[in-house]
Every structure is written in C-alpha cells, then in structure tokens.
Amino acid sequence: MTLARPVVILVMALLSGCANLNPPTTENAPPTSAPTAATNKSTPGLSPVNSGQVQHQGVAHLALPNDLWERMRKGYRMPNLESDLVTDRTQWYAAKPDYIQRMTERSSKYLFHIVEELERRQMPTELALLPFIESAFNPQAVSSARASGMWQFMPATGKSFDLKQNAFRDDRRDVQASTRAALDYLQRLYGMFGDWHLALAAYNWGEGNVGKAIARNQRAGLPTGYTDLNMPMETRLYVPKFQAMKNIVGTPSTYSVNLPNIPNHPYFQSVPLPRDMDVNVAAKLAEISVDDFKALNPSAHRPVLLAAGIPSILLPWDNAEVFQRNYESSSLDRMATWTAWVAPSTMKVSDAAKRAGMSETDFRAVNSIPPRMVIKAGSALLVPRSAQVGADVAAGLADNGRLDLSPEQSLKRITVKAGKQDTMSSLAKRHNVKPEQLAEWNKLPESANLKAGQSLVLYVAGKSAGKKMAGKSSDKTMVGKKKQNHDVRLAKK
C-alpha cells in the first residue's frame, strides 16, 4: 500500500505530460514529388517520399480545424506571385461574388478529397484551388479543344495517366481518378522544373513548350523564371488567376468575399456496384436526386452503369448505407434497362437504330452520335435490354468497348458477278469492302459457297457527304487550351 500513492502520482503526471504535448503538424513539412525520369538528383523543396505512400500523421488530425478553408490555408506552401496581373485578376474575381459563390458551392463536394490527397503526398494544399481556374469546379466541363473534367485533361494526356476513355465512361471526369492523375502530373512537372509557377505554366501550356521557352532564355543569357518567359497570353494569365483565388481564399474579408462554410469531413464515400444498374435506379436507391448522383459520378456519361467497367460509385456519406439497405430489400428483378451491343458491320445510324427498335433521334442521343456519321464495325453501343437478356454486360466489353465513327459517304449500289474461284472473302477484298459487310448486304453467311455468275449487291463509296468530325485538334498542349475570354465564359455558368 505504501507504493500505491507514488505510482498513481507518477502515472497521472505522465498522462498529463502526454496531454500537454503539441501534436505533430505538417505545416512546415516540405512538398514531396514522385521520382521522375527527368531528374537523377533530388529536386529542391522535395523530400524523397513516394507519392503512392500514405503519410500517417499520428494524432495530427486531432488539431485540424472544423472548417476546410482554414485547413487548406494552413497547408499553403507555394511562393506568392506579385504583379499587376495578379492584382487585376484578384479584383476581377472579387467583383463577381455570385460567380465565386457558385464555384465554391460546387467545389464543396470535392475539396475535402483533394485536400486529403495533397496532404497525403505532402504537396502544397493551395493546389486544390486549381480546378477553379481550369473548370470552375465543373467535372462535366468540356473545352473547345476536347479537354474534359474539372482538371481539364486532353484525351491523349488522360490516357498517358491511365484515365480510361471508352464508349461507356470517361475517367477524365471521374472525381477520384482525375484527381489522382492531376496530382501525379503536377508532381512530375515540379520534378522537372523545380518551381511551382513553371509547373503550373507547363500544366496549361505543355511541358515541352515551357522547356523550349526556358532554353531560348538560357541561350540569350536571360532569366528563366515564370515572369521572364515569352508565352501565350492564356498562360501568362494562368498563374495570376491561380494566385488571385489563393489570395481571396487566404483572406476573404480583405476582398469583401463571403466563402460558404465547408465542413472538414468527407462529403462522399465509395460503394461497390453489385450489378448493372440504370443511373436513375441507383439515385433512387440512394435516395438522392439524379443531378446529385451525376455530380459525384460524372464519368458515367450514359444512362446505365455497367458493373464490370464501373465496379464502384460515389455517394454522399450518409446515403451510402441507405443505398445498401434499399438495394438488399429491393424487389426489382432487373435494375438495368440498357445493355451493350456490338455492331457486326459498318452501318448507317438509321439501320442500327432500327435493329435496336429505337427512333434514330433517340439512338443518336443515348449514344452521343453526331450528324453525318456512320457506325464502324465493332463499335459498342447502348440498346434497350430485352426481358430475354438476363446477364450483365461482360467485363471485356464494359471495360474496353469503343464507339468508332467515320464520316458519312454517299454509297453507290452496284451489282457484281462472282467468278469460278470466288469466295465471299476474295470478292470483298477485290472491291475493298469487308466480308461481313458483303454478307450483311446479301443476307448470306460469310462462309457461303458462291456459284460462278452469281449476282451480289455491293455498296461502294461515292463522294463524301460530310466533313470529318469536328474537334480533332491535336494534343499540342498537355491540358486543354482555353480561349482568352475563359473567365467571361465561366462567369456565365
């Protein structure tokens, strides 16, 4: 008993000491970059932590604020840019409170996830503001140069960062996948240039263009900072616009801006998709509107979700359990009214629509087929799912199906006669058509035995009836090229 009191006092003292310790913070931690092939030595400002490693901060999260804006401010790491252009853009944004309000309210669904990812990688948290500049935080945004999503990836760049783009989904619009790719890309650019302003310029203008601009200045004996380079006006304004948003978020009261409160906790969580399911059915099971569902799952740009290609969906935090409960108790035998069909031959849209039992207008709309185009053989298309189709779409088709279109041509109907040695294949090759097309036109199997002198119908291309598909601009920049009136266009959203 004589030892009990001292032991108790010692234990209490230790506990008191632990409670008074300041929790570790990431405030002064340097940003990290994934290793890149562009550098063989450590990059200034980066510590050698792989971007794929989760950085567990112990009890650090206990000290985080309740407001996400304040959490973001604590993680500001990038040097400030001060210039007349920054002042001009800051005043431009501050003078449009309604625009700021729309953008920030839209961002509230995604910001927590982005800030979490930036902190996990130990990157500057103000980079979470970049989608304000790229897309006004609209994950459905598409530029005139075909850049897509809130991070505005061009098709080729998206593919280089493993963002799948097929007939049924576009990962450039996916909240999680596109954020992962954008941060991977930004880390790579910082590793190449060792400067965040140059990295942002390269994100907009292309790393090759920035590299060439730096090389030109070096040859001329000129400085090579962001403000020293000769670049297009769009890129010249890019970092000032970013700095303007950073200024406003940093001290909104200075600019008479009221930012909506964004709680410092997750907005959504990922839920497994157990089977093919119409978008409106998934929204109903989750008890949310279709618009809210699409805002969290913008990569699914068709009316149906194919489970083999989209194994999980995002739902508001409190609705994930609701979805699971309603799914398990649902009496619906079939949750998808659409399925995938592969075109057996190149055909007109009207013919494909007829096969699907749809009007041409509806068929074009559901498959996003523009006018004056024909469907190429092997294309994957959505068609109504009949009661006889019990199985969901197979993984290979759901994950890799592509819609290939070509300009519509005026086809001339001709009749040819088969020779003694002719087969469907040889006759098709001679007239530059596919055997399956020849078989389709003549209602014959591809293996049919032809008789000498047998007449067959062919359709051969005449003069093109339409121009090539619009929007085929090359991927000169790594991320979408925007017009100089970008702010004006977004302000109308």
320-363: pLDDT as tens digits: 999 999 999 999 888 999 999 999 999 999 999 999 999 999 99
Q: What is the pTM of this model?
A: 0.74
Question: Quick one: 322 and 362 in the same domain?
Answer: no
Between CA 478 and CA 461 the distance in angstroms is 37
Which amino acid is located at 483 in the chain? K
Determine the average pLDDT of the residues in 427-450.
87
CATH number, domain with residue 459? 3.10.350.10
Q: Mark which of 368, 385, 406 sits at the end of a domain.
A: 406
Is residue 132 a part of any domain in this protein?
A: yes
Q: Which two tokens stand for residue 170?
A: 């576009």
* CB 439 within 8 Å of CB 445: yes
Instruction: List the structure tokens of 174.
Output: 């996916």
pLDDT of residue 167: 94
Please state, rounded to an integer, the average pLDDT across all residues of the chain.
84
Position 22 in a domain: no
Owning domain of residue 320: 268-329
Q: What pLDDT does 36 receive?
A: 34
Residue 270 pairs with which residues in a beta bridge?
Answer: 314
pLDDT tens profile 65-80: 789 999 999 999 999 9
Do 218 and 356 lie in one domain? The reply is: no
135 shares a domain with 95: yes
Helix-then-strand count for the chain, H and E: 20, 11
Cα atoms found within 13 Å of the Cα of residue 16, Cβ hemisphere only:
6
One domain for residues 246 and 273: no
Rounded mean pLDDT of 201-207?
Answer: 97
Mind giving me the DSSP string for 296-331? H-TT--SSEE-TTT--EEEEEGGGHHHHHHHHHH--
Beta-ladder partners of 407: 373
Q: Are residues 355 and 454 in the same domain?
A: no
Does residue 111 fall inside a structural domain? yes
pLDDT of 408: 80
Residue 139: inside a domain: yes
Task: Judge contact between 149 and 298, C-beta under 8 A.
Answer: yes
DSSP-assigned beta bridge partners for residue 415: 457
pLDDT digits (tens, 9 = 90+) for 443-485: 888 888 999 999 999 888 765 443 433 333 334 344 444 433 4
Please check whether residue 171 is in contact with residue 164, taking contact to mean a CB–CB distance below 8 angstroms. yes
pLDDT digit string (tens) for 83-102?
999 999 999 999 999 999 99
178 vs 429, which has greater pLDDT?
178
314 and 363 assigned to the same domain: no
A 10 A CB-CB count for 112 gives 21
In this structure, the answer to whether residues 191 and 118 fall within a common structural domain is: yes
Return the structure tokens found at 475. Answer: 């991927």
Per-residue confidence at 29, pLDDT binned at 50, 70, 90?
Answer: very low
Is 134 designated active site? Answer: yes
Residue at a domain's end among 218, 238, 260: 260
Domain closes at, from 329, 360, 377: 329
Q: Count how many domains the chain has.
A: 4
- Say if residue 297 is in the same domain as residue 226: no
The pLDDT value recorded for residue 63 is 60
The residues, ordered by sequence, that sit 6+ positions from 454 with a Cβ below 8 Å of its Cβ are 417, 418
Q: Are residues 239 and 371 in the same domain?
A: no
**What end-to-end distance do the CA atoms of the chain give, in Å?**
75
Co-location of 187 and 100 in the same domain = yes
The whole-number pLDDT of residue 28 equals: 37
Asked if 104 and 153 count as a contact pair (C-beta separation under 8 A), the reply is: no
Domain containing residue 179: CATH number: 1.10.530
- Report if residue 31 sits inside a domain: no
What confidence score (pLDDT) does residue 64 get?
A: 62
Whether 353 is covered by a domain: the verdict is yes
Catalytic residue among 117, 126, 134, 207: 134
CA dihedral (191, 192, 193, 197) in degrees, to 10, reads -70
355-399 pLDDT tens trace: 999 999 999 999 999 998 999 999 999 999 998 898 999 999 999
* Structural domain contains residue 492: no
Residue 65, domain member (yes or no) = yes
Q: Are 369 and 304 within one domain?
A: no
Residue 307 and residue 376 in one domain: no
